[in-house]
Amino acid sequence: MELNSKTAVELAKLLDSGKVSSEDITRACLDRVESVDPQVHAFLSVDREDALSQARASDARRTEGKSRGPLEGIPLALKDIVAVQGQPLTCASRMLENFVSPYDATAVERLKNAGAILFGRLNMDEFAMGSSTENSAFNRTSNPWDLDRVPGGSSGGSAAAVAASETILSLGSDTGGSIRQPAAFCGTVGLKPTYGRISRYGLVAFASSLDQIGPFTRCVEDAALFLDATCAHDEKDSTSLPDQETDFLKKMGEHADRKWKIGVPKEFFAEGIDPEVRSSVESAIRYYEEQGCTVEEVSLPHSSYAVPVYYILATAEASSNLARYDGIRYGHRAESADNGIDLYYQSRGEGFGEEVKRRIMLGTYVLSSGYYDAYYLRAQKVRTLIRSDFDEAFAKVDCLIGPATPTVAFRAGEKTDDPLSMYLSDVYTISANLAGLPAMSIPCGISSEGCPIGMQIISPVLKEAEMLAVAKQFEDGHDFKGLTAPDRLQGEGAV
């Protein structure tokens, strides 16, 4: 197996043994990007020399006995929504096309302190608004499993880069499923931690009460390593949780032999789920029963309201957060405006794409006088009911298991003219964001068309270690660890 196709845990052992260097691994990833990304379009930009410089510095630290931990020397690519000092920060939007970040996000700072090699800006739906990475202003990312299909979104570039072996790990963000849905579509592990676990400082805001940073990885242990490096209180983020305990990798191992009480939400297996997705997830649940776990059907009666509640609250927050992009202070500025009002309207009209405009308008509408109580306030009340449903379920079980998505990856262009159909791609993932819960997707099958199928695990607040242990138990009994797309990407121009 090539170095760029290994897990971080495997590479850490090779690095410790001296058999390979960080520069070897980083070159392997960079060469892979150069070879296959003209087909996948996962990356918006790559600074090759900066990445190699980081790798050489990592190798020097290791030689001096100053390794910073298990992520030392491991390449990690980043969704273009998180700030990296001196690197582009475009959010895949014309509005920020020429913006270069003057500072590091807290998560980036911590990954650097852990010794990770941070490289590349990964494609995404503009300002994280989308479920297919077709809303990028610059490129449409393809699913490495089938280049005619989408990789999911909004973190589609992050998922595709790991699935195509262009990076060992990647960073994404999840507002309503934007890590778990593309992870399911691309056959990777994708994890959204508890709200407040990872600082949002330096993450460009979409919906501030929902956004969370998280990893895409090839195995569950790698996700634990990412959390160990990034989870801590941050005074620069008012929503950052205080007094956090980490050491997720160790705690995950302590739960390895536990017989779990697993809840299966009946609402997640209702009409609309693809039969192959249902079959794969049900097979996974039976596996847990065979391991001595207890499985119980539970109900989340208000989950049917999750999608409308999300698209009221998220768009309302987006409308507020994106008001700062006015063409005056920063961002795209229209050249032909004659006065301040025209400058504002034309700059936003030219800088934002259609989906972003749609969500700004919807969010402004639900916050407007006469509609605030009918929509926004009522949605907040239903959000409380959704959170209460989870509280009742977790009083009976340790975690919930169900499908991550209702279907496998759909074909490019299939849903672009039907926004409501696109929004339903996140029907199973949105509830966890509304409740602030940790959740993850892991591969659990391959469809008859050769597309990955993802299983979602949802746990109570701050129970990431237990959730990882549940995922690891399934991973250890199957062949999905280190799963990568069939290598149909044989070189530039070839499919």
* Residues 393-446: tens digit of each pLDDT: 999 999 999 999 999 999 999 998 888 888 888 999 999 999 999 999 999 999
> Is the distance from CB of 116 to CB of 95 less than 8 angstroms?
no
Query: What is the rounded distance in angstroms from the CA atom of residue 3 to the CA atom of residue 30?
Result: 11
φ and ψ of 6, to 5 deg: -85, 165
Question: Taking residues 284-311, what's their average pLDDT?
Answer: 97
pLDDT value at residue 495: 30
- The DSSP call for residue 146 is B
Domain 3-260+467-476 has CATH 3.90.1300.10: yes
* C-alpha count within 13 angstroms, C-beta hemisphere, residue 353: 22
| pLDDT over 70 at 465, yes or no | yes
pLDDT value at residue 391: 98
**Nearest Cα residue to 45 out of 134, 109, 128, 138:** 138
Coil, helix or strand for 278? helix
pLDDT value at residue 329: 83
Q: Side chain identity at 74, as an amino acid letter?
A: I
Q: Which of 21, 131, 155, 178 is catalytic?
A: 178
357 as an active site residue: the answer is no
Question: Taking residues 444-463, what's their average pLDDT?
Answer: 97
Where do the H-state alpha helices sit in 65-152? 106-113
pLDDT value at residue 131: 96
154 as an active site residue: the answer is yes
Q: Which of 79, 463, 472, 481 is catalytic?
A: 79
Question: Taking residues 40-65, what's their average pLDDT?
Answer: 98
Query: What is the rounded distance in angstroms from the CA atom of residue 237 to the CA atom of residue 106?
Result: 9
| pLDDT over 80 at 160, yes or no | yes
Residue 490 pLDDT level (bands cut at 50, 70, 90): low
| pLDDT over 60 at 492, yes or no | no
**Nearest Cα residue to 315 out of 127, 151, 136:** 127
pLDDT value at residue 488: 64
Q: Which of 154, 170, 319, 425 is catalytic?
A: 154
Measuring CA to CA, how many Å separate 324 from each of 137, 235, 344, 476? 19, 23, 11, 47
Q: Read off the pTM.
A: 0.96
Coil, helix or strand for 144? coil
Residue 356 pLDDT level (bands cut at 50, 70, 90): very high
Among 91-95, 344-348, 367-371, top mean pLDDT goes to 91-95
Residue 194 pLDDT level (bands cut at 50, 70, 90): very high
Q: Of 121-130, 414-423, 480-489, which range is least confident? A: 480-489
Query: What is the rounded distance in angstroms from the CA atom of residue 243 to the CA atom of residue 362?
Result: 38
Query: What is the rounded distance in angstroms from the CA atom of residue 379 to the CA atom of residue 440?
Result: 25
The chain-wide mean pLDDT, for the chain, equals 95
Query: What is the rounded distance in angstroms from the CA atom of residue 15 to the CA atom of residue 8?
Result: 10
Per-domain residue ranges for the chain?
3-260+467-476
> Is the distance from CB of 306 to CB of 434 less than 8 angstroms?
yes
Measuring CA to CA, how many Å separate 18 from each of 15, 21, 24, 80? 5, 7, 11, 33
Query: What is the rounded distance in angstroms from the CA atom of residue 218 to the CA atom of residue 205?
Result: 27
Position of tokens 């995950």?
A: 252
pLDDT in tens, 235-270: 999 999 998 888 999 999 999 989 999 999 999 998
Query: What is the rounded distance in angstroms from the CA atom of residue 417 to the CA atom of residue 402?
Result: 28
pLDDT value at residue 149: 97
Structure tokens at 321: 């957060």
Query: What is the rounded distance in angstroms from the CA atom of residue 216 to the CA atom of residue 89?
Result: 20
Please tell me which residue, 423 or 133, carries the higher pLDDT value.
133
Using only the alpha carbons of the chain, give its radius of gyration. Answer: 21
178 as an active site residue: the answer is yes
Strand partners, 77: 119, 170
Residue 491 pLDDT level (bands cut at 50, 70, 90): very low
Coil, helix or strand for 381? helix
> Is the distance from CB of 428 to CB of 403 less than 8 angstroms?
yes
